[in-house]
Amino acid sequence: MDPDRPLTLYLVRHGQSSWNVDHRLTGWSDVPLTELGQEQARALRPALEAEAFDGVWSSDLTRAWDTARLAYGEPTVDERLREIFFGELEGAIWTELVGPHKEALKNFQGFQAPGGESLVELERRVLSFIDDLTPGRHLLFTHGGVVRQLLTQVGQARFVANCTIVSLDWTNRALEFIREPS
């Protein structure tokens, strides 16, 4: 690979999962895609097949891995692409969260899951994965927190819907586009 070639990341948040429907903090819980989530993933195939990638990667959690298989093909699995580990908050319903945990997640700053990961630990884990990538175009099937963490790195902190595609020029730390599902 040409070391002068830029690193471009195509990020795909997994399709709707059963816990997304209930607005639960999912983290490392390995929950399946819903039928809608499977349809969302299949709907990505035409757009993704039109692109050429040097690597296709996925979180090891079923919802991301199944999205990859339905939307593109077999990925290389890496657990560093997992969602943040919510520890004791795993499975909590968003609307029932109170106080500092909800505010820190909403603002995406200063969050530390009791018995789980902090945003700093999530960032360190995800960036270690990206640091191992070779230059070129890489397709990553991952989770909302990971996508938000990487968007934050390019000054675009925001949460994205299921099966949103985000393209980042990682070399220049710039957002190329965000394509939300129709």
**Which is catalytic among the residues 14, 101, 138, 143?**
14
Identify the three-state secondary structure at position 118.
Answer: strand
**Which is catalytic among the residues 83, 117, 138, 143?**
83
Q: Where are the beta strands (DSSP E) in 14-156?
A: 55-58, 76-77, 136-142
Concerning whether 180 is annotated as a catalytic residue, the answer is no
Q: What are phi and psi of 24, to 5 degrees?
A: -95, 145
Identify the three-state secondary structure at position 177.
Answer: strand
Concerning whether 14 is annotated as a catalytic residue, the answer is yes
Contact between 165 and 139 (Cβ < 8 Å): no
Catalytic sites, residue numbers? 14, 83
